[in-house]
Structure 1
Amino acid sequence: MPNHPNRGPKGPSSNPTPADICTAREATGLTQTQAATLIHSSLRTWQQWEAGDRRMHAGLWELFRIKAGLVNLAK
């Protein structure tokens, strides 16, 4: 799908960087296994996201940040 916003060389991606993922997980004090379990993912997939071998979908990134308490939903 070349016209998908998160694929292809054109335009900025809304996906988090591997550094963003690793930093957020470490800030919560979670292990990779705990972080993966929190968003119903496998450990291997989480490791691929942190290594930069695979891009984390923006929706999963948002889910992780909400469930890990990194986003304040009360306004």
Structure 2
Amino acid sequence: MSTPTPKPGQHLPGPPRTVDPQQIHAEVDDLLAGLPAVDSPDDQQSIPHQAHILERAHEVLVQALETVDKI
């Protein structure tokens, strides 16, 4: 008689969490597609906008890693 081994994350309340790599790729690709090009020093005003987009893409990746870590 063997005791069943629980699967990772089975002890967490709520529905099972999953991460869809294709969805993460699509979300990050969509964010990065909105990055404006900085072609000259006169484009300095777009740098804060680029930083904001990169920060959002970073947040998507961090959330995915946190979810995977809990599974």
Bigger proportion of residues as helix: 2
Work out which of the two has the higher radius of gyration on C-alpha atoms and give 1 or 2. Answer: 2
Higher relative contact order (CA 8 A, sep 6+): 2
Provide the TM-score with structure 2 as the length reference: 0.29
Provide the TM-score with structure 1 as the length reference: 0.28
